[in-house]
Structure 1
Amino acid sequence: MPAQRTTTASFLPKVDAGILRFLRQQAPLQQPRPTTIGPIFDPDNLDKPISALTPDIEATVYPHLPSTTTTTTTTTTTPHPHAPTSISTSTSTSTICDIPAGFDHHDRYLRAFLADNERLRLSMLWYYTRGIEAEDELLAGLQEKADLAKECTGWQFSVIGILDIDVYIRLATHGLQLGILPRGETLCAHTVTQPPGSVFLLPDLQEDWRFRSCPYLEQGGLYAYAGVPLRLQHESGVTVGLGSLCVTSSKAEDPLTKDQQQALVRLADWVVSDLVQCTRARRQRERQRMSDLLTTARMELEKGVSADPVFRILKTIYPKAVIKSQLTTATHVEMEARNPILMSDLEGGLWEDIEYLDTLIAEANHQPLPTTKTVRVMAAPCESANGPALLMVGSKDFQHIFDDVDSWFVQSCAGLISQLWRNRLLAEAINAKEKFLRGISHQLRTPIHGILGSADLLAEELQEACGAGATDDALVAPTVTAVLKTGFMGFAEYSKYLNIIKMGGRDLIAIVNNMITLNRWVDIALTDRHYAMHSIDKLETELRTAISALTIGDMRYSCALFFTHDVPPGFETFWMDIDVLRDSLLPIVYNAIQHTPDGIVSVHSTVDPESKQLTIDIRDTGRGIQQDDQRRIFEAYEKVDAHSARAGLGLTLASRFATLLHGSVALMSSAIGRGSHFRATFRDLEYACNADGTPPSLASTLKSLPRSFYILKSPTRAGSRPRSPGLSTSLTDHFASILTRSGFTPSHSLDHSFVIVDAPPDTEEHHTRLSQIPAGTVCISVASGLPADSEAPVLLEPTSAKNVIHTSGPFSAQTLASVLERADALAAEITPVEPSNPPLSAPIVLPMHLKQSNDDDSASDSDLQPDSNTLLTPGESSSEETTGAGSPGPSATRTSSRPTTLIVDDNIVNLRIMEMYCQKRGLPHLTATDGLQAVETFRRRQSSSSSSPITENEPDLPPIELIFMDLQMPVCDGVNATRQIRALEQENDWARALVIVMTGQDTLADKTAAEDAGGDEYFVKPVILRQLDGVLRRHFPAFEGGWGTYIPQITWLDSSGTPTINTIIIIIITTTIPMISIS
């Protein structure tokens, strides 16, 4: 036996793969399929329709022959309703030899009749045989069954065919030619009308009066015939005949046995089963094609506003159909070449001209069906610009039967059209809402900007008038008050009222921002995410910058903010949309700050590479949340304090933003008086693994600073808010924890250590404690505070204390690196002095994380200490000044200390505020009230900067170097104005001016448009003037304007020489007042 050949081909199955195709390919080629009617044996009756089969005629010409049953004792004859004409136990054939008495028979042979359910039969035939001539697989299978029928009966010929309204079509034959035969003269047309499962058996046509003169006997030479109908049952239970399977012979044959007849019946059922399965497969392929077209159309509709793509794919599927849509308010539908169709007739989704079809079946069944008018309509409701409508597909082809796939496709197309109009309406609604929000945002922010700007400028004026910058509980210096008028309040009193104005304005703008963000949530959620690789340091910087923008100048909050992280080496960067991540965390951090005005807020990030999870824990030592309120805090407009001025939207927005990044926000614990613990978790993160190994610790990179530190802790001050046992708000504890993570160790003595000490409000006590530190020992003084204080650093130490470095929050890896680098440089400069170990007023205190603690998960101080198993690495020193949108550092060519400024704003209040700002800062300035004026003013000024004055009102000024640009203005908006200014600079090779956009619009589209046009900074009104000072100082290093310079502590004495309340004098530095120094 030869070895079986093997193949290395892989098996990739196809759903519609052929079965035994190789056998069929070896079979002889099929006959060419005819397209015309022939052969025609009875041309005289070709143009005559056949008649309907009545019960009387059926009983006469197709009698149900009796069935005889023989037992051992008796023989009985009983009627059998479906007994085949040939099934008999006797040896004689059961044939009808003579014409029944009274039967009026005009033709020389019995022509075929219509079935009693002819319309249903034709509809099912047309559906299950549509396109059958192209189904090679099916036709090959039918050929095999025709061959099998011939083999099992032994007769000469076999035929499988279907019966249409006017012709009989041979699909497969054995021994005969394929053909399309007139229905009336064929024997198979009689078979179709027989009872289901029966065999129409004519073993000798010459002996049967019905067919002894038929053309198939006289001209075709067929003497014997046996056929079975291709039966198919409708879901209603009615059985119809689609065609026939028959065997014939050119000579008379013995009747088929019962087994042979049953074999023919089963073969016929097999043929029908193949037809059904083929139709199902064809419709599945068509459905997939429809689905692909729908996908294509859907993509096109997303880019356009026309429904043409939908009508195009409908025409692709139904190329000869009439496709239209019409409003349902009409009473009828006009269709081509036919009477109008009532709209009510289309409510079911399908209409067909049954009356017309019945007429054709009865009177024109000898002719092909006409295709001159619409006979079948499928409709689906849709929405249009003018209201509810129907999408209709009308067919002129009777043989095109719609099914559920067509219904699904037309309904899907109608859905696309509806979605198109809904999207258009939604877009119009969104545009209207966007215009409203942009307008209301501008209208609200503009007056708030005027209020806050006026308050800031008034505060500066009062400082100048009073000559002192005092805290709320301080007294104004007697030498200063002497110059004030009688009854004139001090700056401290005025500042109380100004602070009320400023804080109210800040709260109002925060509410406006949150409400607008919540109303834009759908737009935000649908916006594409901008993923990129980011680091934990980048996240902390983003949060720190955002917190600065929210709290700068806000004197209500003086808590210490700590950023720490626990990241395995090599997993410092991750794939994330940093903007959405920041927006999800910022409300939680800001909420913690608001509820912790003078405590500790800790933001700790943890990376878990195995679970691909980023966890952010936000803990505070604030007020805490009542148990009953903890469930509702994430709901919109819900607040812990119902009388709070805030809107109660921050945590709602945080939770929603987190969901955009597969994250969640939860309250882990909270206790009244002990604070709260929130956790934000982000899953399915992708990390960039760095295989460089563990980076060196920060301590190992410093050369002169000792590796150990000593904590000089102040005693608990009187009047502080009581805390739960074991809870500490000491800044040095938290700062020491960060130092420990950076590779430093705590020490019990000053020997070979540097000192960290917190800066309490009692500055006299602080100076006393600082004086105990040897001059050769570096001291880091840690003060609480948010980025609001970064613009005015506190310099409390005497000028002689050159060994003290002061720092304030927020504290992160980058700020720590900056502070320690300064301390390392200071340690290299000062001469070490041996400590005399003087008695200290406070005991040595180790960091809290080095103590043993049994506290629970409440926001205790030990909870706030991060783990110490990961060392912080040195980072770049970052400026703590708050800036607007990211921009490059100061240009090397911008050396001016008083840049000429162009103020562009159509609002007189904003224009006046910025004019006063420029006057206070000594900035020469020009103004414009729309973009067109701004461009023209800029062009004229830059062109004539070296020439004489243009007009009396326009003095000789240097070129414009700074532009404050509004966006929403008449005539020409800020974006177009900025674009034209940049074009002028490029065309004339002018120096690039700094464009600071100041607008009430905060949408991403506005920010992007401003940046694309050439804007350098982007500020959303109201703008904090101190924040603006920092930006100008960054771009113009020589800029002398600003909030002021803080000077050392001065102690005032009363008449007895007793020190009074300590006061910090603030000297305002302006362009008109020289710097005053007090030693």
Structure 2
Amino acid sequence: MVNLGNLWQNDSVNCFSFVIASLEIHMSAEQNLENLDLDLQRRIRISHLAVLVIVCLASAWTIIFLMLGEAMGAYISGSVALVYFGCLMLFQTGLQRLARSVWLFSASLSTFAGLVFGHPGVDVDLLFLPVMALSFLAISWKKERTLLIFFLFLPLLLWFSAIRYDLVGSSQALFGIPVFYSSLSTETVNFLLRSTVLILLVAELFYFTQLASSAETELHTARIKAEAAAKAKGDFLANMSHEIRTPMNGMIGMIEVLEAMKPNEEQKRAVGTIRNSAFSLLRIIDDILDASKIDAGKMVIESSRTELRPVIEGVAVTMQTMADNMGVRIVLGVDRKVPNWILADSGRLRQIMLNILSNAIKYSSQDLTGRPNTVYFLVEMDKEDVIKLEFEDQGIGMSQELMEKTFEPFVQGESATTKRVGGTGLGLVITQKLVHQMGGQIITQSTKGKGTTVTILLPIKVFDGPNLAPDISQTKIEMLTEVGKFSKRLSNFVDHLNYIEKIRSVRPDLEGYAIPDEQETVFVLFSENQKTVTSWMSILRKQAKNPKFVVVSSNRSEQLGLLHEDVYKIQSFPMLQSELVKAIAFLTKKQKPTLIEKQPNELTDAQKESRAKKSILLVEDNEINQIVFLKQLEILGYPAVIAKNGLKGLDLWKTGNYDVILLDCHMPVMDGFEMAKEIRKQEEGGNLPRVPIVAITANALTGDADKCYACGMDDYLAKPVEIKFLEAKLMRHLKC
């Protein structure tokens, strides 16, 4: 007993030292996992912990076997403890995969050895079940799939081999080593084995359940955090509109002031460059803000009565300069069946058309293709309540792979092209989301090297409204073009119009052309050659009955408008239907002609006199914007008084008699919303006349307009405020 006690004491001290060393190894190894994949970290930690537990258990069983005098059992458990301590050392040195591989391999091999060296009646093979499950516990399917499959099939292979080749209890026959017999009965050993297998399987199932639950919790938490972060980002960017647009208002406003000061040609070019740069920056800012508002769920479509044709033509005119600079011609066609008035969000509709048309122009540029190109912008009805917008270009086109990524954020095509085209890569993403939000669809067809066609189908509601165009339906109109030039496309274009009866492809001398001489005719002359146009007019003046001429010119430097009593010149590429109708109406006396049109910002004496009598209260806290608005109002001929916050503005309103109030919404002391509410309250309480209030705000959020109206304001302007929009609002409320 003394010897056994000494043995137990020495071994127990050694084993406890062994366990303590193992724990120290486990703690220090934790520091090496920080940079690994989260799932892989879990696998390594549980493997590390499991090996540590096995080392402790094997050490404890070694002590127990020694106390019971089971030398073979002590030898086996001690060997296991030693092997697994080696695994712990591998974990410590950072060889995580090797450590787990040694662990799983030794687990399979030791179970197989138990079959070979154990008693045939003992169910050692049941241990293969938890051993197989260990591979799922220790190895990441996402990161280490091959290793997992190997250690899943290794115990299966060993188990199958033991049964197939009758290796159970064959140590005597194979190695001359007698089968290991325990002092415990076979039934007791099997009971202990089965209990161990059951405990191990339950523990593994419990861990897998915990793992799944933990992963689900982490995913849920991550989703909530991601949504909160996305919302915070969206709110931040959307509300940054105020801070961004305030200085932009000063920049763009002063550009317009400079333009109104009659600069010379060199100064005009400099100011024009500044203007283009400012509006380019504004478009980029708007794209970023729109994308953030869509992500934040703050993009709302606000439908109102909209005259459709001016919106369409305005888009084409806006892109004309860009197209000219890039060697691209715009052909615009609006079908006669397209309604004049619809219920729609005109701003968003314009944004959709601008984004697609600008893309078509950019990727058709002469710099990219090496040739001049044409972009066709056609508008027609697809169904009774669905409008079809088609944009066809002859540009570089797209591959199938790129088409699949077209509507992903920040995607702009091949890198070499992107460097030459520029842009944020957000325009198409915003367009797609706007189209979907409006209940429509967008279809893209493209062939690399040949061009792209983008078709947008939008449901619309037709709205009754006045037809503001002059009636020229009884006028005989014929279009003349040169033989072999533009005729096919022009024929398609003219087919969309209500007015032109025929298109004729003729020679410069009009040989073979039956000149109409019985009825007054308006001839639309479409030729790039000025000599040809002059020849046509000379011949027709002699042979036709009282002819009138609309000359279509692509020369941007030529004077447009009514040139002579019988000649009116309009632009082409794009040729606007409204300009064509206006020209014909002037020539046929259906609309009063103006030989010299008033220049922008040039007021008549009557306007100057009536506007000088008006009094405007401008409430604005930003000093730069105060200067800008005062200069703009000075150019427009309106006198104004300034207040730097809502409280001072309210005091001035009480003591003065103002015809209109221009009111900034976001100010210190008292903001515009509070001031408007207080004015309406006092007007109602004191039975005072209602003064028009026009909100001026830098916040581009869609709901801001509703908030202004809810506070009693009458109109709304978003910064940066262009002088033409400011004048339009003031004329609406002041009638002068």
* TM-score normalized with structure 2 length: 0.53
Q: Which residue matches 1:603?
A: 377
Shift of 1:634: 2.7
SS at match of 2:424: coil
Residues 442 and 455 of structure 2 are in contact (CA less than 8 Å); yes or no, is this contact kept in structure 1?
Answer: yes
Counterpart of 2:455 (choices 657, 679, 687) is: 679
Q: Which residue matches 1:461?
A: 261
RMSD: 5.5
Counterpart of 1:745 (choices 476, 486, 502) is: 502
Deviations 1:586-642 (A, max 9, x none): 4213433556789755433444449x8653211246x54465865544332223432
Matched, 1:777 2:543: no
Q: Which residue matches 2:429?
A: 652
Q: How far, CA to CA, are the matches of 1:551 and 1:966 in structure 2?
A: 34
Q: Which residue matches 1:754?
A: 522
Counterpart of 2:407 (choices 634, 643, 663) is: 634
Q: Which residue matches 1:443?
A: 243
Q: Which residue matches 1:1001?
A: 699
Matched, 1:521 2:294: yes
Residues 507 and 646 of structure 1 are in contact (CA less than 8 Å); yes or no, is this contact kept in structure 2?
Answer: no
Deviations 1:177-215 (A, max 9, x none): xxxxxxxxxxxxxxxxxxxxxxxxxxxxxxxxxxxxxxx
Shift of 1:932: 2.1
Residues 609 and 687 of structure 1 are in contact (CA less than 8 Å); yes or no, is this contact kept in structure 2?
Answer: no
Matched, 1:900 2:668: no
Deviations 1:269-299 (A, max 9, x none): xxxxxxxxxxxxxxxxxxxxxxxxxxxxxxx
Change (3 A) 1:431 1:987: farther
Letter in 2 for 1:592: A
Shift of 1:1019: 3.0
Counterpart of 2:565 (choices 801, 820, 834) is: 801
Shift of 1:668: 1.8
Letter in 1 for 2:442: V
Change (3 A) 1:599 1:541: farther
Change (3 A) 1:1018 1:590: farther
Q: Which residue matches 1:927?
A: 642
* 1:793-872 matches, cutoff 5 A: 795=560, 797-798=562-563, 800-801=564-565, 804=568, 806=570, 820-826=584-590
Residues 407 and 432 of structure 2 are in contact (CA less than 8 Å); yes or no, is this contact kept in structure 1?
Answer: yes
Q: Which residue matches 1:940?
A: 655
Shift of 1:927: 0.9
SS at match of 1:927: strand
Change (3 A) 1:676 1:429: closer
Unaligned 5+ residue runs, structure 1? 1-346, 349-380, 383-387, 390-414, 464-490, 691-695, 716-725, 830-880, 882-891, 943-959, 1039-1079
Deviations 1:326-370 (A, max 9, x none): xxxxxxxxxxxxxxxxxxxxx99xxxxxxxxxxxxxxxxxxxxxx
Shift of 1:518: 0.9
Shift of 1:1033: 5.0
Residues 453 and 913 of structure 1 are in contact (CA less than 8 Å); yes or no, is this contact kept in structure 2?
Answer: yes
Change (3 A) 1:577 1:803: closer
Residues 233 and 292 of structure 2 are in contact (CA less than 8 Å); yes or no, is this contact kept in structure 1?
Answer: no
Q: How far, CA to CA, are the matches of 2:378 and 2:612 in structure 1?
A: 41
Letter in 2 for 1:801: E
Q: Which residue matches 1:473?
A: none
Q: How far, CA to CA, are the matches of 2:347 and 2:572 in structure 1?
A: 26
Letter in 2 for 1:938: W
Residues 450 and 909 of structure 1 are in contact (CA less than 8 Å); yes or no, is this contact kept in structure 2?
Answer: yes
Residues 905 and 930 of structure 1 are in contact (CA less than 8 Å); yes or no, is this contact kept in structure 2?
Answer: yes
Query: Larger helix proportion, structure 1 or 2?
Result: 2
Matched, 1:497 2:250: no
Deviations 1:859-914 (A, max 9, x none): xxxxxxxxxxxxxxxxxxxxxx9xxxxxxxxxx9x964663222222111111111
Q: How far, CA to CA, are the matches of 1:926 and 1:499 in structure 2?
A: 31
Q: How far, CA to CA, are the matches of 1:522 and 1:1029 in structure 2?
A: 35
Letter in 2 for 1:604: L
Shift of 1:931: 2.0
SS at match of 2:480: strand
Q: How far, CA to CA, are the matches of 2:440 and 2:241 in structure 1?
A: 30
* 1:136-175 matches, cutoff 5 A: none
Q: Which residue matches 1:974?
A: 672
Residues 584 and 656 of structure 1 are in contact (CA less than 8 Å); yes or no, is this contact kept in structure 2?
Answer: no
Unaligned 5+ residue runs, structure 2? 1-204, 207-212, 366-371, 505-512, 594-599, 601-606
Shift of 1:650: 0.8
Change (3 A) 1:428 1:602: same
**Which shows bigger deviation, 451-460 or 558-567?**
558-567
Q: How far, CA to CA, are the matches of 2:689 and 2:554 in structure 1?
A: 42
Shift of 1:968: 1.7
Change (3 A) 1:439 1:704: closer
* 1:941-960 matches, cutoff 5 A: 941-942=656-657, 960=658
Change (3 A) 1:932 1:728: farther
SS at match of 1:648: coil
Q: How far, CA to CA, are the matches of 1:686 and 1:461 in structure 2?
A: 43
Shift of 1:667: 2.8
Letter in 2 for 1:454: M
Q: How far, CA to CA, are the matches of 1:438 and 1:901 in structure 2?
A: 31
Shift of 1:514: 0.6
Change (3 A) 1:984 1:438: farther
Residues 636 and 727 of structure 2 are in contact (CA less than 8 Å); yes or no, is this contact kept in structure 1?
Answer: no
* 1:654-673 matches, cutoff 5 A: 654-669=431-446
Shift of 1:529: 6.5
* 1:186-265 matches, cutoff 5 A: none
Q: Which residue matches 2:20?
A: none
Change (3 A) 1:730 1:979: farther
* TM-score normalized with structure 1 length: 0.38
Matched, 1:564 2:323: no
Matched, 1:913 2:689: no
Q: How far, CA to CA, are the matches of 1:641 and 1:973 in structure 2?
A: 44
Q: How far, CA to CA, are the matches of 2:260 and 2:488 in structure 1?
A: 34
Q: How many percent identity over aligned positions? A: 17
